[in-house]
A and B are shown apart, each in its own frame.
Chain A
């Protein structure tokens, strides 16, 4: 069913104002909507016309900046890519699960920034390369090995989908491990030895119990669950080779 022009929708939004609220609560507004209106546009309507104090993150409005992740009816979604026409009557918008709430729909993501940094998400070449040596060359097969993981926009929907992130805030988590795997799988990279300790640590990939929901909610078609489990496999190989004195070990 699609909404006709100028129909309206009831939107429940999680509010949390740290200076006055003890805990988050839901506030309901009625927002007029058109068929092509996104959840983000509904939030912007509230801020522009109903309550200027509502706080939420957004930037590009086209599913590439990764800023506008929220829970829509309990499911992690990019609010710019989620349309009111797919919901009937009433929707609930909450801050992304598994993160502390800074204010309203704004989460605290400092822990993720640290985790992201810990996996060294950049190419670590085997040896320094001078500009005049030209570009790196890759076959289509070599690129295929990592390309889908490079589509990650760090929107954190996979963290909101992962119960192990909520249960163990230390857990490096799906996106950071997918990026770790992305660089380890890149033929130009030789940094696996520096990244594998992150996989094999107590806070690493073995927190994952293959729930698989991270890959379900990814708005960019990345498969973090596969990356995390491939990283586990690599860690197992490294662990047992370490016993034989062949692996990189610690």
Chain B
């Protein structure tokens, strides 16, 4: 793994001026007064609250992955038989697990919010009556759809659990 050098010039770290190709023919590097300066990118995301929020949004993926892993372990335990699966169920009831799922819930909610917030830009524009639907309508509609889908899921689980 290597850090990114915006000029892709070996031997010149970002954050220092770089002597570029000189005049072809006579003269050489010293004769070229141009020394474009490339600013370093380190810590770029701390420079703007917009970027901090973006990084938090991307960080939610760690928690989505963690939850997927918990479910996968449950699935494997299930395939191994009742005793193994009951162990997984017992682990879910530990205070640590409950607390972690509380954190997961908060991060997932943040993920949902940010996912639908950027969705007007990530999905093709929706035109109603020849006019592009406003961004707030798309985000609002998607949040309503998420609420409806979640409610349906909850009702199905409650019916199945009877």
Residues on A facing B (Cβ under 8 Å) = 16, 18-19, 22-24, 74-75, 97, 100-102, 108, 140-141, 144, 163, 166-169, 209-213, 215-216, 223, 225-226, 229-230, 233
Contact = CB atoms under 8 A, between A and B. Distances in A.
B45 interface: yes
Contacts of B47: 74
B54 to A, nearest CB: 5
B121 A226 contact: yes
A110 to B, nearest CB: 9
Interface string B121-151: 1111100001010000000000000000000
Nearest to A24: B37
Interface string B60-100: 00000000000000000000000000000000000000000
Nearest to A71: B47
B33 A18 contact: yes
Contacts of A216: 50
Contacts of A100: 6-7, 18, 36-38
B51 A166 contact: no
A233 B124 contact: yes
Contact of A166 (B6, B17, B132): B6
Contacts of B50: 211, 213, 216
Contacts of A210: 118, 121-122
A240 to B, nearest CB: 16
B61 to A, nearest CB: 11
Contacts of B23: none
Given A97-B39, A229-B123, A233-B124, A167 B130 contact: no
Interface string B9-45: 0000001111000000000000001111111010011
Interface residues of B, number: 33
Contacts of B58: 209
A247 to B, nearest CB: 18
B17 A22 contact: yes
A24 B17 CA distance: 10
19 contacts: A18-B17, A18-B33, A23-B17, A24-B37, A74-B47, A97-B39, A100-B37, A102-B34, A141-B130, A144-B132, A166-B6, A169-B7, A209-B58, A210-B122, A212-B121, A213-B48, A225-B122, A226-B120, A229-B123
A19 B33 CA distance: 6
B2 to A, nearest CB: 13
B54 A211 contact: yes
A229 B121 contact: yes
B158 interface: no
Nearest to B123: A229
A216 B123 CA distance: 17
A101 B39 contact: yes
B109 interface: no
Contacts of B123: 229
A17 B58 CA distance: 38
A225 to B, nearest CB: 4
B42 to A, nearest CB: 11
A169 B36 contact: no
Contact of A23 (B6, B16, B51, B132): B16
B35 A169 contact: no
A212 B125 CA distance: 15
A19 B58 CA distance: 42
A212 B48 CA distance: 13
B162 interface: no
B44 A166 contact: yes
B153 interface: no
Contacts of B4: 167-168
